[in-house]
């Protein structure tokens, strides 16, 4: 390779690499302080241990807190007697329960004695505890990096989900995104805490005998249950899953054989304008409409898709409907007043500390490589910086939520890239010490390490694919990061060899360039 061409290639790669790394890592205020550039790294979504979570307390309809009870009685003494007649103190004193809720558990439909009320309170607590398990299953199916569901005082559910903030939002540089993230987290809790069974409804078609249970309060419009009273959702639906394809998000509904017949008959009737003026199948959970499907013709396939506007909504719908279709329904309709931001579980500055630690590790790798391999080490350092920039950019583009485990996985892939290159370098050193020319040493050194490096990368690729496809949440994210890092490591391993040749061409003393030394210079094969 000619010296001029070598210098041009080296300059282009170096400038592109440094530019990618600079804009990938460094955030700064723009001139005039009217705006701010947030780096690619600062725009990557963070897990709850790095950016905090959003939590709230869910209460079943008819359950209030002791604070609300005491406040209402104290401030509005006129209703004190009414509240005393309406509510019963739950064990522990943290909550009060409407007697009408307890009457449901009574054998004679009225829990009027203290013994009956205490027994009903125990059964209520058991149902709420079961609801906590159902809600935890929905959140797990939502593929969040982390979440918690706990029972408070026996009669309330404390639910937390990741805030989904990136560092720029968490640090307060992008307040608009903070509001969006808070709303998104609130939507997850709001959708997945919907209680009631899954029903399909239409304004004209359905079981007239089930009008009472299928009636909505929207404008007095009566809707009919398409499935009727003889079928449950589990008899019709096999699964409901999230899907994304070509920028289109939605849910994919798979039917049982019986469900296929039912939906085919119902959709054919609904699509026929002579039989129905409403060509829509509405999916309800309890008395809340979740999603709808317009029927232009009969649905005869075993599965069908319903598209929605964005990924988050599609994942919410899929997790909720799959749970309800499987019979995992919540016993109560839950309400909550507000969602609250909590600081990062690992500490307020955990994300910043991890970023600094990662940069220190990268600087240490660069310092060691330059000290041991001289200008060759500088060439490798450029590739290490390029590797880091590519990892940051791809993680951002793919939309991976970064957790502490994800950061360590990324560092593991940097160690993989570094180790493979140093292995080849040391093998080249041995060949050089054996008396080969540098060109012959490079060729033989890479040849001897090729199979080992290839096998290692193949194994890690298989592991990363399994983690991505089989696991959920943080482990799935780690699998994706490992997949990206493994591919980048292997490709840049060979690009490092190319850049070695490109930067070595102008050097007069090739061995001095590599930091190698040898006593004999005779070439032999």
User: 371-422, pLDDT tens digit by residue?
Assistant: 988 888 888 999 999 999 999 999 999 889 899 999 999 999 999 999 999 9
Q: Residue 108 has what pLDDT?
A: 67
Which of the given ranges, 42-56, 171-185, 215-229, has the highest pLDDT on average? 42-56
pLDDT at 214: 46
Q: Who has greater pLDDT, 505 or 157? A: 157
To the nearest 10°, report the CA torsion of 218, 219, 220, 223: -50
What is the distance between the alpha carbons of residues 102 and 91, in angstroms, rounded to a whole number?
14
Sign of CA dihedral 251, 256, 262, 267: positive
Sheet (strand 237-245) strand order: 237-245, 248-255, 303-308
Q: How far is CA 263 from the centre of its chain?
A: 32
| pLDDT reported for residue 525 | 45
pLDDT at 463: 95
Gap between the Cα atoms of 244 and 328, Å rounded: 25
So what's the pLDDT on residue 390? 95
Among 100, 123, 122, smallest CA distance to 111 is for 100
**213 pLDDT above the threshold of 60:** no
Tokens representing residue 68 in the block = 């609300």
What strands lie across the sheet with 87-89, from one edge to the other? 63-65, 95-98, 87-89
Most confident of 26-30, 207-211, 338-342, 357-361: 357-361
Helix (H) / strand (E) containing 240:
strand 237-245
Sheet holding 280-285, edge to edge: 224-225, 198-202, 280-285, 288-294
Q: What is the mean pLDDT of residues 330-358?
A: 87
In this predicted structure, what is the pLDDT of residue 181? 82
Mean local confidence (pLDDT), 488-509: 84
CA 355-361-366 angle, 5° bins: 125
Residue 70 has pLDDT above 60, yes or no: yes
If you average pLDDT over residues 239-257, what whole number do you get?
A: 90
pLDDT tens, residue by residue, 288-342: 899 999 988 899 999 999 999 888 899 999 999 999 998 899 999 999 888 888 8
Q: Picking from 106-120, 201-215, 317-331, which range would have the lowest pLDDT averaged per residue?
A: 201-215
pLDDT at 227 (0 to 100)? 81
Write down the pLDDT at residue 342: 85
Residues 281/206, Cβ–Cβ less than 8 Å: no
How does 181-219 read in b/e, with b if 16+ C-beta sit within 10 Å? bbebbbebbbbbbbbbbbbbbbbebbbeebeeebbbeee
212 pLDDT more than 50: no
Percent of the chain scoring above 90 in pLDDT:
40
State yes or no: pLDDT of 507 exceeds 70: no
User: What pLDDT, on the 0 to 100 scale, is given for residue 341?
Assistant: 86
Note whether 250 and 292 are within 8 A (CB): no
Q: Look at residue 273 in the predicted model and tell me its pLDDT.
A: 80
Q: Contact 247/165 with Cβ under 8 angstroms?
A: no
52 alpha carbon, distance to own chain's centre? 14
pTM of the entire structure?
Answer: 0.81
Q: What is the mean pLDDT of residues 476-492?
A: 94
Say which range, 59-68, 166-175, 241-250, 455-464, has the weakest mean pLDDT: 166-175
- Contact status, residue 165 vs residue 52, Cβ threshold 8 Å: yes
- On average, the pLDDT of the chain sits at 86
| pLDDT at residue number 95 | 93
Distance CA 119, CA 111 (A): 9
Q: State yes or no: pLDDT of 215 exceeds 60.
A: no
Please state whether beta strands 198-202 and 280-285 pair in parallel, antiparallel, or not at all (unpaired): antiparallel
Residue 166 has pLDDT above 90, yes or no: no
- Top pLDDT among 507 and 218 is at 507
Tracing tokens 């009472």 back to the chain, one arrives at 212
Please tell me the predicted confidence (pLDDT) of residue 264. 92
Residue 89, exposed/middle/buried by CB under 10 A (0-12, 13-18, 19+)?
middle
């Amino acid at each position: 390779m000619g010296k001029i061409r070598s210098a041009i290639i080296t300059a282009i790669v170096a400038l592109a690499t440094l530019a990618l790394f600079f804009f990938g890592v460094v955030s700064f205020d723009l001139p005039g302080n009217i705006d701010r550039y947030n780096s690619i790294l600062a725009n990557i979504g963070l897990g709850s241990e790095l950016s905090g979570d959003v939590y709230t307390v869910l209460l079943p309809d008819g359950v209030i807190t002791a604070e609300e009870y005491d406040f209402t009685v104290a401030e509005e003494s006129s209703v004190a007697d009414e509240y005393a007649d309406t509510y019963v103190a739950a064990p522990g004193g943290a909550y009060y329960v409407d007697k009408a809720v307890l009457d449901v558990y009574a054998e004679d439909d009225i829990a009027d004695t203290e013994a009956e009320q205490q027994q009903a309170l125990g059964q209520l607590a058991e149902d709420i505890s079961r609801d906590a398990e159902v809600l935890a299953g929905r959140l797990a199916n939502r593929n969040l990096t982390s979440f918690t569901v706990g029972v408070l005082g026996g009669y309330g559910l404390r639910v937390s989900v990741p805030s989904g903030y990136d560092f720029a939002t968490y640090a307060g540089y992008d307040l608009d995104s903070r509001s969006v993230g808070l709303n998104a987290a609130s939507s997850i809790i709001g959708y997945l805490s919907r209680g009631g069974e899954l029903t399909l409804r239409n304004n004209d078609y359905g079981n007239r005998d089930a009008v009472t249970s299928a009636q909505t309060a929207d404008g007095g419009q009566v809707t009919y249950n398409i499935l009727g009273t003889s079928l449950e959702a589990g008899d019709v639906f096999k699964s409901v899953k999230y899907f994304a394809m070509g920028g289109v998000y939605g849910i994919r509904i798979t039917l049982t054989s019986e469900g296929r017949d039912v939906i085919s008959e119902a959709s054919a009737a609904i699509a026929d304008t002579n039989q129905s003026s409403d060509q829509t199948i509405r999916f309800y959970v309890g008395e809340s409409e979740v999603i709808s499907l317009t029927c232009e013709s009969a649905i005869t396939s075993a599965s069908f898709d319903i598209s929605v506007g964005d990924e988050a909504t599609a994942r919410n719908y899929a997790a909720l409907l799959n749970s309800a279709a499987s019979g995992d329904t919540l016993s109560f309709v839950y309400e909550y007043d507000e969602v609250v931001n909590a600081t990062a579980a690992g500490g307020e500055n955990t994300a910043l500390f991890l970023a600094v630690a990662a940069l220190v590790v990268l600087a240490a790798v660069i310092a060691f490589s330059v000290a041991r391999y001289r200008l060759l080490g500088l060439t490798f350092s450029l590739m290490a910086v390029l590797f880091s920039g590519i990892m940051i950019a791809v993680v951002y583009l793919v939309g991976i939520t970064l957790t502490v485990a994800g950061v360590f996985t990324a560092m593991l892939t940097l160690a993989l890239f570094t180790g493979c290159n140093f292995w080849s370098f040391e093998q080249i050193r041995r060949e050089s010490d054996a008396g080969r020319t540098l060109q012959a040493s490079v060729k033989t050194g890479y040849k001897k390490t090729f199979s080992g490096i290839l096998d290692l990368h193949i194994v890690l690729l298989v592991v990363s694919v399994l983690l991505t496809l089989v696991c959920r949440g943080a482990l799935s994210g780690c699998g994706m990061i490992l997949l990206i890092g493994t591919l980048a490591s292997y490709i840049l391993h060979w690009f490092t060899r190319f850049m070695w040749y490109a930067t070595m061409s102008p050097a007069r003393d090739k061995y001095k360039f590599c930091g190698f030394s040898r006593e004999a210079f005779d070439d032999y094969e």
